[in-house]
Amino acid sequence: MQPTIDTGDGFVAVPSAVAGPVTEGDVVVFRAEEVNDGKLTTHRVVGETERGLLTKGDNSQFTDQANDEPPVKRTQIVAVAWQPGGAVLAIPGAGLLVSGSQSVLTSIQRQIAAILGTSSVLGIQGLAYLLVALSFLAYAADLVWRDGKKERTRETSRNPGTNARLVMAVFAGALVLAATVTMVAPSGPREFGVVSAEFDSSGIRVIETGTTESATYTLSNGGTIPMVTYFEPTTDRIDVQPREVVIPGQSAANATLTLSAPPETGYYRQYVVEHRYLLLLPQSTIRSLYEVHPWLPILAIDALLGIPFYLTGVFLVGTGRFHSRSRDGPSRFERLQSRLRYSEPDGRRPRNAD
């Protein structure tokens, strides 16, 4: 994509689900079939046909379709580059930084998984779990460090402290982020390649021309919270039944995948889009929101988790600030013991208790 995006540069990628219609001139990230060894490819949309979009790199004289890449279907598009003012906002060096960070994070996740003996911390969902855990551990460590200072002065010292609402907002944000990643990561288009042949073969990948075959589609849920999945076939010769499947926590559920071969021989790609949601709302409510827009259930579930968590936290810790206080004398725990020991029977402390 040079000179628009140099090697190692990054850009702001808007998920296709919220990017809106893709038009000529947009730079898209799509799942290629032939070019770039079938990997994710970032090219510009230069036209559209009945079969799909025509794409081309800015530094290339020929379209991808001239290099045996079929027209790109909208279900193959993963994201659209943000173009403020009509030009892609390239971020120099961001691509290299992200790639290096991903390698480091993957290595750390594997080491933690080996220590804990569980694979639940691997992948994007595992990264979300680790993010929430680190948020709580970082704050707990900060409190312990402040309380464990060895040097104390005779004069009471105070700092402005940390706003309690801000702390709870950070925790609520981490919780919402983890929930969003848990729902978004396993969602998206699923590709099934089918060979339409003159003879049938074992399995569902090679089907006799003009016939239909079915197979079991297994859905797994590694989390503890049940999830509900919705399917949207986006090509004509594929179907999944039932279209709505509930997956219990740490379990699996099955659906039936049906593929049809066209009358002509050849290799064909079929797509079905999968949407997953944490089953924290009534299933009928999630279904109603999903029918309006696939992102609405995610927003509703995030609000259900984040808002009560934030309000409960503020109610418990108050709306003031977390202070670090030190003075020559007993620790906070010892002062608390002293107050409890000298409290009056009716729960009031005598005036000289301190």
Who has greater pLDDT, 185 or 287? 287
Report which of 17, 76, 68 is spatially closest to residue 45, judged by C-alpha positions.
76
Amino acid (1-letter code) at residue 252:
A
What does the alpha-carbon distance between residue 242 and residue 256 come to, in Å, rounded to a whole number? 7
pLDDT at 320 over 60: no
Which of 146-155, 193-202, 275-284 is predicted least confidently? 146-155
CA 279, CA 52: separation in Å to the nearest integer?
35
Higher-pLDDT residue of 98 and 9 is 9
pLDDT of residue 333: 46
Domain 187-278 in CATH 2.60.40.10: yes
β 188-197/206-208 pair status: parallel
Q: Which of 18-27, 80-89, 118-127, 271-280 has the lowest mean pLDDT?
A: 118-127
**The pLDDT of residue 153:** 46
Q: Supply the mean pLDDT for the chain.
A: 79
- Picking from 138-142, 155-159, 258-262, 336-340, which range would have the lowest pLDDT averaged per residue? 155-159
The confidence band for 346, taking pLDDT boundaries of 50, 70 and 90, is low
User: CA-CA-CA-CA torsion for 170, 139, 225, 232, nearest 10 degrees?
Assistant: 40
CB 279 within 8 A of CB 183: no
- Sheet containing 212-221: which strands, arranged edge to edge? 212-221, 251-260, 238-241
Q: What is the mean pLDDT of residues 302-321?
A: 81
Within 13 Å and on the Cβ side, how many CA atoms surround 196?
17
Q: What is the pLDDT of residues 111-130, one digit of tens each?
A: 776 676 666 666 656 666 66
Query: If residue 198 lies in a helix (H) or strand (E), which one and from where to where?
Result: none
Write down the domain spans for the chain: 10-92, 187-278
d(CA 179, CA 128): 8
Query: Check: CATH 2.30.30 for 10-92?
Result: yes
* pLDDT confidence tier of residue 279, bands split at 50, 70 and 90: very high
Say yes or no: do domains 10-92 and 187-278 share a fold: no
Give residue 243's pLDDT.
95
Percent of the chain with pLDDT over 70: 72
Quote the pLDDT of residue 229. Answer: 96
Q: Mean pLDDT lowest for which of 123-137, 174-188, 264-278, 337-351?
A: 337-351
Contact 346, 332 (CB under 8 A): no
pLDDT at position 305 is 92
Q: Which residue, chain included where needed, has tokens 């559209």?
A: 48
Asked whether residue 275 carries a pLDDT value surpassing 60, the answer given is: yes
In angstroms, the Cα distances linking 84 to 11, 26, 57, 87, 95 are: 11, 11, 20, 6, 19
DSSP string, 106-173: HHHHHHHHHHHT-STTSHHHHHHHHHHHHHHHHHHHHHHHHHT-S---SS-B----EEHHHHHHHHHH
Q: Which two tokens stand for residue 39?
A: 């990997």
133 versus 58: which is more confidently predicted?
58
| Non-local CB neighbours of 300 within 8 Å, separated by 6+ positions | 281, 285, 286, 289
Quick check: 195 and 267 in contact, CB under 8 A? yes
Pull the structure tokens for residue 202.
């074992």
Q: What is the mean pLDDT of residues 57-83?
A: 88
pLDDT in tens, 200-255: 887 778 999 999 999 999 998 888 899 999 999 988 899 999 999 999 988 999 99
Output the CA–CA distances (angstroms, integers) from residue 108 to 65, 112, 278, in the order listed.
40, 6, 27
Looking at residue 72, what DSSP letter applies? B
For the chain, first and last CA: distance in Å? 71
**So what's the pLDDT on residue 230?**
96
pLDDT over 90, % of the chain: 28
